[in-house]
Amino acid sequence: MKRFAPLAAALLLAGCGGGIYLGWGGGYDDGAPSVSITTAQTSVAAGGVLRVVAAASDDDSGIDEVAFYRVDGSIDTRLGSDGSAPYEWNVLVPADGRTTVSVFAQARDGAGNSASSTLLTVAVTP
């Protein structure tokens, strides 16, 4: 009868609303993190540097990194990433005649989920 004791205990628990959890590690994280981007600058000189700061959070698995991108026409150019808060980056603004520069941040959580901020656009002065 001793061989069946664990099975009997499991059935008893299952019958009264209890259960046995046989999982590995934490729960499953299928939610994307949240991320936003901002700057204190209202304009930046062509060839200058735009300092941006991102805020990112994730309820389940934390933030692994925040990557920063500059939008160049239809191409998103990855500038680099920051792996710890505060998530900050210095964006080099090309001196190519553009009148604005647009950037965004993309956060990736510990489970591999990612999300992008809205686009931040700043005027470029000659």
Q: Convert the pLDDT of each residue in 41-84 to its tens digit.
A: 999 999 999 999 999 999 888 999 999 999 999 999 999 999 99
Identify the CA nearest to 79 among candidates 64, 88, 67, 95: 67
Identify the CA nearest to 101 among candidates 34, 35, 37, 56: 37
pLDDT of residue 8 exceeding 70, the answer is no
Element (H, E) at 100: strand 100-109
How much is the pTM? 0.76
For the domain made up of 29-125, give the CATH fold. Answer: Immunoglobulin-like (2.60.40)
Which structure tokens are listed for 121? Answer: 């656009």
